[in-house]
Amino acid sequence: MQVVGTPVNWILRTEGLFAFLAAIYFYDISGFSWVTFLIAFFIPDLSMLGYLVNNHPGAIAYNMAHSYIGAIICLTAGFIFSVKVLLLISLIWVAHIGFDRALGYGLKYTRGFGFTHLGQTGKKRDT
């Protein structure tokens, strides 16, 4: 399942980089605190605690926190209802997801933490 280095993989990783940069830009012009950004940036990674149970709930929790769906719903609600805290949360959330995707960390399969839609992460095992 190793797809790292394929043209599609690089497109998806570049897409993540641009999502990260766009979120950073909009966060900056919104005037939100960078201290808040730094404190909250890794909160979505708490979803990895699901892996303490096993791969299945771990993948579900991780994917819920690392899918753009929730972040975009939050962002849209923030704009529609003019709720600044939703904008703050969603921009940090999108930045986190984009950062992870740019580094090659994708949505997880239940097979294990290292199996993602962007390819296999971690060390290769000799067979």
Average pLDDT over residues 75-81: 98
pLDDT > 70? residue 2: no
Band of residue 126 on the pLDDT scale cut at 50, 70, 90: very low
**Where are the domains positioned within the chain?**
7-120
| DSSP-derived 3-state class of residue 54 | coil
d(CA 105, CA 114): 9
pLDDT in tens, 31-77: 999 999 999 999 999 999 999 999 999 999 999 999 999 999 999 99
Average pLDDT over residues 80-97: 98
Phi, psi for residue 3 in degrees, rounded to 5: -120, 5
Q: What is the pTM of this model?
A: 0.89
| DSSP-derived 3-state class of residue 6 | coil
